[in-house]
Structure 1
C-alpha cells in the first residue's frame, strides 16, 4: 500500500492517532482507558507510518530503538512501585503530589507514572514487532 494518497495522508493520520493515544492514556484512572490501550493506539500509528514510509525511515523517525523505549517503560513502571518504599508504605501504594499552577491544581501520582510506563512498554514492544514485520526480514 504505497499510493500517493496514503503517503500524503499518513502524517495527518499518525498525528491524530498519537494525540488520541495520549488523551486515552492520561484519562485512564478516572474513565476507561489507560496506558495499555493508549500504547496500542500509539503503536498502531507507528505501524501506519511504517506502511507509508517503510520500516527503515520510520525507525530513523523514532530516533530511539523501540525495544529501548519498552525497557525505559519497564523502569518507569517499576520505579512507580518502588517509590512507595521510600515513604515506608507497602509496595505500589499511591503517592500523590498536588502542583499549584496559577488558579489550577494539577494532581500528579505514581499511578500516572505506572500508566506512562505501561504506555511506553506497549508502544515499544508492538512497534518493534510491527516494524520487524514490515521490514520483511531486513530486506527494507
Structure 2
C-alpha cells in the first residue's frame, strides 16, 4: 500500500492568509491610483490574480475549487463589455470614442475624492485581466495535475 505524499504546510497557509489580504489591498490601491499615478486596471488585475494563485498554491486546486465557486472565464466578457460601454458612453455627449471626464466629489467615508470616468474603463480591464490570467494559470495547473495522475 502506497501512501500519498500529504504535507502539513501550516506556515505556508498562515502566511498566505495574511499576505493575500495585503496583496488584495495593494491591488485595490493600484486600481484607484491608475488615473492619476502608475497603476490601473491591468496591474491591479495582475495583483489580484497573483493573490488567487497564491491561495491555489497554499491550499491546493481541489480545496480552492470547493471554496471559491468563481468561473473566471465569465470575467472576460464582463470586463470587455464594461470597457466597450465606457468608450461608447462618450458618444452620448458628442465626444470622441474613449473620451473621459473627471471631477472632485465628496464621498461619505472617504471625504474629498478625485474620480474619473477612465476608472470605468480600468474596471473593465481589471475584470478582463483577472479572467484571462486565472483561466490560463488554472488550465495549465489542471493539465499538469492530470499528467501527474496519469504517470502514477
How many equivalent pairs are there? 139
1:82-112: CA deviations, max 9, x gaps? 1111112211111446544369444433200
- TM-score normalised per structure 2: 0.79
For residues 103 and 67 of structure 2, the distance between their equivalents in structure 1, rounded to whole angstroms, comes to 34
- Confirm or deny that 1:94 pairs with 2:121: no
- Quote the Cα distance in structure 2 between the aligned partners of 1:47 and 1:31: 26
Gapped regions of structure 2 (runs ≥ 5)? 1-6
Higher relative contact order (CA 8 A, sep 6+): 1
The 3-state SS of whatever aligns with 2:70 is coil
RMSD: 2.3
Moved more, 105-114 or 17-26: 105-114
CA distance in 2 between counterparts of 1:138 and 1:81 reads 41
Name which one, 1 or 2, has greater alpha-carbon Rg: 2
* Structure 1 runs (4+) greater than 6 angstroms displaced: none
Tell me whether 85-94 or 14-23 shows the greater mean CA deviation: 85-94
Q: Residues 52-93 of structure 1, C-alpha deviation per residue, up to 9 Å, x if partnerless?
A: 112233244443211111221111111110111111221111
In the superposition, relative to structure 1, how do residues 110 and 59 fare at CA in structure 2: closer, same or farther (>3 Å)? farther
Would you say 1:112 and 2:119 are equivalent positions?
yes
Partner of 2:57: 51
TM-score by length of 1: 0.84
Cα distance change of structure 1 residues 138 and 75 upon mapping to structure 2, 3 Å threshold:
farther
Moved more, 3-12 or 92-101: 92-101
1:9 — aligned with what?
Answer: 15
Residues 1-29 of structure 1: CA distance to partner in whole angstroms, max 9, x if unpaired?
A: x6221122212111111110110111011
Q: 1:127 Cα deviation (Å)?
A: 1.2
Matched, 1:123 2:130: yes
- Give structure 1 stretches of 5+ with no counterpart: none
